[in-house]
Chain A
Amino acid sequence: MKKNWPLWEVFVRSKNGLEHRHFGSLHATDAEMALENARDVYTRRNEGVSIWVVESKHITASNPQDNGELFEPAQDKIYRHPTFYELPDELKHM
């Protein structure tokens, strides 16, 4: 047999109100163990109130080679940002 333990990605919410953030990865045989290992490895210093684990192979990642077509078209759409609009300084609450 000799199958290695799969890799998991760990996401931790450090306190309620904040999003889960990617903390790192680890090896585990199943989701239950991945959660326990994540608890033991990544929250030893009280870093979390909630953990997500997902097996790394289930993550679909965009390819950096496509970054041009994926992300550059958004660069010049500056009208999506509030600073694009010129308004008088006296104007309040906007």
Chain B
Amino acid sequence: MSEKEVKNLEAIFETRIARDEKIEPKDWMPEKYRQTHIRQISQHAHSEVVGMLPEGNWITRAPSLRRKVALLAKVQDEGGHGLYLYSAAETLGISREEMYEQLHTGKAKYSSIFNYPAITWADIGAIGWLVDGAAIINQVALCNTSFGPYARAMVRICKEESFHQRQGYEILLTLCNGTPEQKAMAQDALNRWWWPSLMMFGPRDAESPHTEQSMKWKLKRKTNDELRQQFIDQTVPQAEILGITIPDPDLKWNDTLKKYDFGEIDWDEFWQVVKGHGPCNKERMNARVSAWENGAWVRDAAMAYAEKQEKKKVAKAS
């Protein structure tokens, strides 16, 4: 294809997206669109799967049977969501194994929030409330993104996620209505998870180079800063109902702008964790790699068995 023809196809492609048409896997798409989507969807999938780990640690220690089944179902959902997303990325011509390879070698990223440790039961509440809350804001916007398989996966995920945040908030509500010791546990969790949650929306707009392109492709409907603001504005009143304090002395309602002003995020910490030096980066990756490597003989066995059965079937038929 000549350069001119490609330019022409690109122009048609961009108009289709601007008209809110969906792009499906077999449609022509610019190589950059394909690569960006593989990167973002697989990163999203990795986040779900790595995200199983900090909460998964608490399944055996959940304090009641009701909490245990809810947490187990939630962590399982995250595995399911990872699966939906890997499948969506696979329609773009990359295998799940290749994506795992990228994750395990550090080539692919996942959400940094999961590199923080979940050290108390209240952290399970805080993860549900804040981390899922922040994720939902991003995900709802993505239900309308331009790539069909991604948008459809997001619709399913959003539907299933609706219990996750409620589950987390209910945990904290119970703690805050409990003993002073329990309430202190909730406050401590909020202290540790608040700032990392704000970081989930990514760098400030000025430092976010892909925003313009992503907006055009509807991979983003709002900028990082807009989403962060939306999150803060909806979360502050929720903290008030719990009766715990958001650890930001600069946080206050701005009556002119009708939004909350908030303090400076520690961007050095953000970049440190992104670059692999957070509290749990190594542990998370080790857990993923060993699950995959220890499972190799199992996956091979199932494949070998299926092939043997197939051969037997063919032999019988002939």
Contact = CB atoms under 8 A, between A and B. Distances in A.
Interface of A: 1-5, 7, 24-27, 29-30, 33, 41, 44-45, 61, 63-65
B28 interface: yes
Contacts of B299: 4-5
B97 to A, nearest CB: 5
Contacts of A63: 26
Given A24-B87, A26-B83, A41-B83, A5 B303 contact: yes
Nearest to B27: A64
Interface size class of B (residues with CB under 8 A): 20 to 34
A27 B300 contact: no
Given A27-B96, A45-B160, A33 B300 contact: no
B21 to A, nearest CB: 12
A51 to B, nearest CB: 16
B97 A26 contact: no
Given A4-B95, A65-B28, A26 B87 contact: yes
Contacts of B77: 44
A63 B303 CA distance: 31
B302 A5 contact: yes
A45 B156 CA distance: 12
Interface in B151-199: 152-153, 156, 160
A4 B153 CA distance: 23
A92 B64 CA distance: 65
